[in-house]
Amino acid sequence: MLKGFKEFLFRGNVVDLAVAVVIGGAFGGVVTAFVKDLLTPFIAAIVGKPDFSGLTFTINNSKFLYGDLINAIIAFLLVATAIYFFVVVPMNALTARLRKEPPPAEPTKRKCPECLSEIPIAARRCGFCTSPVSSPVQR
């Protein structure tokens, strides 16, 4: 039973996932600080009010704090925007730059000069019209 558990723990996917969670948590702190310390004050400078948590309305002595919802929505949009433009876009560009296209495949067929049928590239005689075909050009 312990052997199976050990194999499960040291399987590549579990270790990769654990590392991803730890790095994701640390990166989440960086993104949160970026949004809180740079983007939110920038928006506050434009709009004039950095904190909407004081916005409320009351119905039958029940206080609704819709300002907190606005703060959460703005924070989510800022984090999503920051991650997209500062992580996803550069990573996609880097991946596209590093991706190598496979070389084009060598042709395996050619056209018969007499009947224009597709014949194997190494053929010396056309299988359709039986005319002799010059040997292919050696590369």
Residues 49 and 109 in one domain: no
Residues 92 and 30 in one domain: yes
Total domains present in the chain: 2
Q: What is the pLDDT of residues 57-88, one digit of tens each?
A: 899 988 888 888 887 888 788 878 888 888 88
Give the predicted TM-score (pTM) of the model.
Answer: 0.48
Could you tell me if 114 and 128 are in contact, meaning their C-beta atoms sit under 8 angstroms apart?
Answer: no
Rounded Cα distance between 53 and 43, Å, is 15
Q: Tell me, what CATH number does 65's domain have?
A: 1.10.1200.120
Residues 6 and 63 in one domain: yes
Q: What is the pLDDT of residues 42-56, one digit of tens each?
A: 777 887 766 777 888
Q: Strand pairing partners for 109?
A: 120
Provide the percentage of residues in the chain whose pLDDT is more than 90. Answer: 3
Rounded Cα distance between 88 and 90, Å, is 6
- Band of the pLDDT at 118, cuts 50, 70, 90? very high
pLDDT the model gives residue 131:
87
Could you tell me if 101 and 86 are in contact, meaning their C-beta atoms sit under 8 angstroms apart?
Answer: no
Q: Among all chains, which residue has been given the structure tokens 């924070």?
A: 75
Give the pLDDT mean for 77-100: 85
Q: Strand pairing partners for 80?
A: none
Residues 10 and 77 in one domain: yes
Lowest pLDDT segment from 15-19, 23-27, 86-90: 15-19
Residues 11 and 64 in one domain: yes
Which structural domain, as residue segments, surrounds residue 57? 2-98
Residues 109 and 66 in one domain: no
Judge residue 9's burial from the number of C-beta atoms within 10 Å of its C-beta, 0-12 exposed, 13-18 middle, 19 or more buried.
exposed
Note the residue count of the chain. Answer: 139
Residues 14 and 62 in one domain: yes
